[in-house]
Amino acid sequence: MTLALLPGTVSDASVDQAVSRLVVEFGQRLDQQVVVGVVRSCREDLSGTPADALPELVERLARYRLDPAGD
């Protein structure tokens, strides 16, 4: 697994997908840079997670962090 990426440089499919969907969801309220930052840090926190499960978990965690109150 490619986990040895430096913080801030993480960029892979799981990040890109989550960013594009979450920007649509939260773009009204939050700056795109904030969304990207949160998604990236989620991706880092989830390093060690099997690649297959990563996109779903990154998006889920980022959504939770962006909107801890939930809908």
Partner 1 sequence: MGYVDVAGVRFTLPDGRVLLDDVSFRVGEGACAALVGENGAGKTTLLRIISGDLTPDGGSVARTGGLGVMRQFIGSVRDDTTVQRFLVDLAPPAVREAWDGVEAAELAMMEADDEPTQLAYASALGHWGDVGGYDVEVTWDTVTVAALGVPYDGCKYRELASLSGGEQKRLALECLLRGPDQVLLLDEPDNYLDVPGKRWLESRLIETRKTVLFVSHDRELLARVAGRVVTVEGGGAWVHGGDFASYPAARTARHERMADLRKRWDEEHERLIDLVRTLQQQAKNSPDMAARYHAMQTRLAKYEAAGPPPDRPPDQHVAMRLRGGRTGVRVIVAEQVELTGLMQPFDLDVDYGDRVAVLGSNGAGKSHFLRLLAGQDVAHTGDWRLGARVVPGFFAQTHAHPEWLDRTLVDLLWHGEPGRPGVDRGRAMATLRRYGLAAQGDQLFRSLSGGQQARFQVLLLELSGATLLLLDEPTDNLDVLSAESLEEALGAFDGTVMAVTHDRWFARTFDRFLVFGSDGRVYEAPEPVFDEARVQRTR
Binding site for partner 1 (CB under 8 A): 1, 45-46, 48-50, 52-53, 57, 60-61, 64-65, 70
**Residues 68, 38: contact at Cβ < 8 Å?**
no
Least Å from the CB of residue 27 to partner 1: 22
Q: Cα 19 to the chain's mean position, in Å?
A: 6
**Residues 62, 20: contact at Cβ < 8 Å?**
no
Nearer to partner 1 among residue 6 and residue 48 (C-beta):
48
Nearer to partner 1 among residue 22 and residue 61 (C-beta):
61
Residue keyed to tokens 């991706």: 43
Least Å from the CB of residue 30 to partner 1: 18
